Amino acid sequence: MTKKTILVACGAGIATSTVVNEALKNLCKEHKIDVNLIQCKITEVSSLADGADLLVSTTIANKEYPFPVINARAFLTGIGIEEVKQRILAELVK
């Protein structure tokens, strides 16, 4: 499996993306998936899109991207978190 790059975005690229970034780091480690996690602001996603495989965001992505976008607010609320984790894992093993 090739190493995947995940953009982890929130509005400021500091608070909620840090929470999600750590959760993804643990999730990928648990499933032995080698990933490159890039924490950023949602406004920076376009400039980081080359080479990205997935966007996981705690805010609304108002643009179309050439890769899947998964809303990650479940990592903040705990509601529906297993479903979101499964969606992320499914994208990473493609």
Domains and CATH numbers, the chain: 4-93 (3.40.50.2300)
Residues tagged active-site = 10
> What is the token pair recorded at 87?
């969606």
pLDDT for position 61: 87
pLDDT at 26 over 80: yes
pLDDT for position 14: 87
Average pLDDT over the chain reads 94
27's torsion region: left (phi>0), alpha (psi -120 to 50) or beta? alpha
Q: State whether residue 80 is helix, strand or coil.
A: coil
> What is the token pair recorded at 60?
């609304």
